[in-house]
Structure 1
Amino acid sequence: MNKTPAPKVSARGPVDHEVRDQIVAAATEHFRFYGYEKTTVSDLARAVGFSKAYIYKFFESKQAIGEMICANCLDEIQTEVKAAIDAVDSPPEKLRRMLKALVESCLRLFFQDRRLYEIVSSAASGRWPATLVYEDFIEQSIREILQLGRQSGDFERKTPLDETTRAIHLIMRPCFNPLLLQHGLDTTDEAPVLLSSLILRSLSP
């Protein structure tokens, strides 16, 4: 599977400077406790022990810090999904594992880091760069599985690849989009199984 490029997050100062990591770590803990909306850059400055002006040398806004945290959260999900896909050889099973891993990873973020989940939801609503990379990763992963399935004879080849990829991406969206997932928590046990079965039947040659 191809690795999706990292999102470009608006930031200042040396990219690899340890101070940036300190700020992001402090912001992550602060957001976990107080929430994104209620935390100000002044709050973060006090938590890290720096002046607000000094923080602005590394991040141009609170949203830029939020984008970095969001990118970290979504990168963890992508890593788990990629591992699930790569763990099997069969294209149909890859698709099943992908959908299952997406739901499980998103639910873990929802229930264990609810405040961070709220940041990711805000990011999805505002279409922050990290969420665009996340969606691109999912779409590209679907495309690659479809290509493998067409080569192996598991999937039909008549429908244009782009059309099939886009259709499956849209069908799967309630399982990985944070804005939609939170409204279907009562179906997350059966949804991956039912959806993957439906998709695989439609792909049958």
Structure 2
Amino acid sequence: MTTSSTPVVSARGPADHTIRDQIVVAATEHFSRYGYEKTTVSDLAKAIGFSKAYIYKFFESKQAIGEMICSNCLQEIEREVRAAIDGADHPPEKLRRMFKAIVESSLRLFFRDRKLYDIAASAATERWLSARTYESHVKDMIRDIVQQGRQTGDFERKTPLDEAVTAIHLVVRPYTDPLLLQHSFDSAQEAPAQLSSLVLRSLSP
């Protein structure tokens, strides 16, 4: 399985991870209460008890703080999805578990706190690094499963690998993109089984 890497976000300043983490935790709570779009760095500084200039020693902008929060959220989803995949032995079951875990984890984390959803929506809209990295990692997971399935004979080999991976990603994308996910609630319960079954039929040799 491809190993994920942590995206590099725009953190800077002193190598004091304790203070940086403290800012991120406080920002998460503040954004959760007041919303990401409505909060300025000045508001955040006042709430945390730091000066605005001090926060800028660690993060170059509000977006940089949002990037860190979003990255943490997306990494949590990714860990859960990878754990689900690793819990299966055969590629078809890995694919089924991937679809199920993505839908369940995304719904829980993106909408656990509606205010924090604003950050995920901004990340998707503005194509933040954290969102692009997560998308890349989802494609990597799909690629690994398809390659394994081709090696075991469970999946066909005629379709170019990149084409197959892109197509499967497009199928699951409504449940990885928060902007699309908000319109997919009604089908969220049945979608993982139905979509994964459809994809598996298309991959049959």
Q: TM-score range by the shorter chain?
A: over 0.9
Identity over aligned pairs, percent:
69
CA RMSD of aligned residues (A): 1.0
User: What is the number of residues matched between the two proteins?
Assistant: 205
Scaled by the length of structure 1, the TM-score of the pair is 0.97
Scaled by the length of structure 2, the TM-score of the pair is 0.97
Which residue of structure 2 lines up, in the alignment, with residue 144 of structure 1? Answer: 144
- In the TM superposition, residue 15 of structure 1 has moved relative to its aligned partner by 4.3
> CA separation in 1, counterparts of 2:15 and 2:198?
45
> CA separation in 2, counterparts of 1:110 and 1:127?
16
> CA separation in 2, counterparts of 1:16 and 1:155?
49
Which residue of structure 2 lines up, in the alignment, with residue 197 of structure 1? Answer: 197
Maintained 8 Å contact 1:4/1:133? no
Which residue of structure 1 lines up, in the alignment, with residue 96 of structure 2? Answer: 96
Which residue of structure 1 lines up, in the alignment, with residue 182 of structure 2? Answer: 182
Structure 1 residues 183 and 15: CA distance shift in structure 2, 3 A: farther
- In the TM superposition, residue 16 of structure 1 has moved relative to its aligned partner by 4.5
Runs of 4+ in 1 over 3 A off after TM superposition: none
- In the TM superposition, residue 111 of structure 1 has moved relative to its aligned partner by 3.0
Maintained 8 Å contact 2:37/2:118? no
- In the TM superposition, residue 49 of structure 1 has moved relative to its aligned partner by 1.3
What is the one-letter code of the residue matched to 2:71?
Answer: A
Structure 1: segments with no counterpart, 5+ residues: none
Trace 1:69-80 onto structure 2 (pairs within 5 A). Answer: 69-80=69-80
Question: SS of the residue aligned with 1:58?
Answer: coil
What is the one-letter code of the residue matched to 1:71?
Answer: S
Q: Deviations over 1:127-172 (max 9, x none)?
A: 0000011000100000000010001110001111111011111111
Which residue of structure 2 lines up, in the alignment, with residue 33 of structure 1? Answer: 33
Structure 2: segments with no counterpart, 5+ residues: none
- In the TM superposition, residue 110 of structure 1 has moved relative to its aligned partner by 3.2
